[in-house]
Amino acid sequence: MRAIWSGEITFGLVNVPVKLYGATRSHDLSFHQVHDEDHGRIRYQRTCEVCGREIDYEHIDKAYDDGDKTVVLTDEELDELPAEDNDEIDVVQFVPDEQVDPILLGTSYFLEPVGRSSKAYVLLRRTLEDTERTAVVTFTLRTKTRLGVLRVHEDLLALQTLRWPSDLKEVDFGPKSTRVSAKERSMSAALVDQFSGDFDPEQFTDEYQAQLRQLVEAKLEEGDAVDTDATFGRDGSTEDEGDGKVISLMDALERSVQKRRDAASSSGGRNGPTASSTTGRATATKTTKKSKTAKNSKKSKTTKSSKTSAAEEKKSAAGDKKGSARTKKASAKGKTSSSRPSSSSRTSKKSA
């Protein structure tokens, strides 16, 4: 158990060093709120009504509303108050136990003796027991000056806070004056005797909390429950859009990486190439290669076609040359045949 305060009990010239511990705890089941549709946790944000932004604790001051005016108190001004530096439980009076009205009692704490010797602690406890007195004290806890009482609880000294007299409300109602007979009072006393006994707090139980725990355990056994991480949005199915606070280490890491990438992207035009520019260059390179390939294929096709036409021209030229040669030969033969007399002409000449 961790101490929440340390100091000294002082009365007269006697100092008793002690540590303060919480004496009570709640047995109630602790609940939180979730969305009825997707079972996500409900978060409350500290939002400024002027600028509309969510505000961190370090930028929040305390203020007092007087109706028409509001007085703002800074942390520096509050730190200057002397009550915060008080680490003593100052005994101001010893009173009979029955004079302390239970309605004034508040939170209870246990006091642990500190130091090599606990003689002063034991002496004070036994003195309160022997004299049936309660010590009225003042002390400072969590920056507030408080009123309290020191009482004996078994072998320990217990400190209970007291409400200030101004904390009690004044009421304007009460029972009307009614006449009660002696017989009614006697019967009432007899009924009280029937229910009389020694107080044992262990015999009382909180039935509502017991039934509530049974309900929760039954739902867990039946599997009627959702994954706790899913209620925080840590299952990866949803992304944080920036509307709420970061609620897990994984979310914080992912947001940090994304923020770094965004910063690099925004400064890419000034400091160097980014992923998008690299992708653009790669795309441009691919396009250039494709265009070059297309041009080369066109050139090759053009070259092939030109070569083919040239070959055809050569073939046609060769054919023309052969045709002209044949024509020349034919014409030469014609000249020869014309220069030589035919056989019929020879025959006619002979007969003549």
Residue 295 is predicted with a pLDDT of 46
54: in domain: no
Residue 246 is predicted with a pLDDT of 44
Q: How confident is the model at residue 312 (pLDDT cuts 50, 70, 90)?
A: low
Number of domains forming the structure of the chain: 2
Domain region containing 258: 224-262
How much of the chain exceeds pLDDT 90, in percent?
Answer: 34
Question: How is residue 83 written in tokens?
Answer: 């009550």
Domain termination residue (choose one: 240, 262, 284): 262
How much of the chain exceeds pLDDT 70, in percent?
Answer: 70
Residue 205 is predicted with a pLDDT of 87
Q: Tell me: the pLDDT tens digits for 227-270?
A: 888 888 775 444 444 444 444 566 767 777 777 788 777 765 44
Check pLDDT > 70 for residue 86: yes
- H/E stretch holding 90: strand 88-96
Q: Are residues 136 and 257 in the same domain?
A: no
Residue 91 is predicted with a pLDDT of 94
- How far apart CA 14 and CA 346 sit, in angstroms, is 180
Question: With contact defined as beta carbons under 8 Å apart, do 60 and 46 qualify?
Answer: yes
243: in domain: yes
- How far apart CA 227 and CA 220 sit, in angstroms, is 11
- How far apart CA 83 and CA 87 sit, in angstroms, is 9
Q: Tell me: the pLDDT tens digits for 266-280?
A: 765 444 444 444 444
Question: With contact defined as beta carbons under 8 Å apart, do 252 and 246 qualify?
Answer: yes
- How far apart CA 17 and CA 116 sit, in angstroms, is 10
Check pLDDT > 60 for residue 288: no
Q: Are residues 120 and 16 in the same domain?
A: yes
Question: With contact defined as beta carbons under 8 Å apart, do 219 and 225 qualify?
Answer: yes
Concatenated DSSP letters of 267-311: THHHHS--HHHHHHHHHHHHHHHHHHHHHHHHHHHHHHHHHHHHH
Residue 249 is predicted with a pLDDT of 63
- How far apart CA 137 and CA 86 sit, in angstroms, is 13
Residue 283 is predicted with a pLDDT of 46
Between strands 14-22 and 5-11, the pairing is antiparallel
Residue 70 is predicted with a pLDDT of 93
Mean pLDDT of 195-212: 88
Q: Tell me: the pLDDT tens digits for 121-176?
A: 999 999 999 999 999 999 988 778 899 999 999 999 999 999 998 899 998 998 88
150: in domain: yes
Q: Are residues 231 and 149 in the same domain?
A: no
Q: Are residues 5 and 145 in the same domain?
A: yes
Q: What are phi and psi of 62, to 5 degrees?
A: -90, 150
Q: Are residues 120 and 237 in the same domain?
A: no
Domain termination residue (choose one: 165, 199, 216): 165
Residue 279 is predicted with a pLDDT of 44
160: in domain: yes
- How far apart CA 176 and CA 174 sit, in angstroms, is 6
SS3 state at 347:
helix
SS3 state at 189:
helix
Q: Are residues 249 and 110 in the same domain?
A: no
Q: Are residues 16 and 140 in the same domain?
A: yes
Among residues 225, 242, 233, 247, which one has the least CA distance to residue 40? 233
Mean pLDDT of 107-120: 91
Q: Are residues 106 and 15 in the same domain?
A: yes
Domain termination residue (choose one: 262, 290, 312): 262
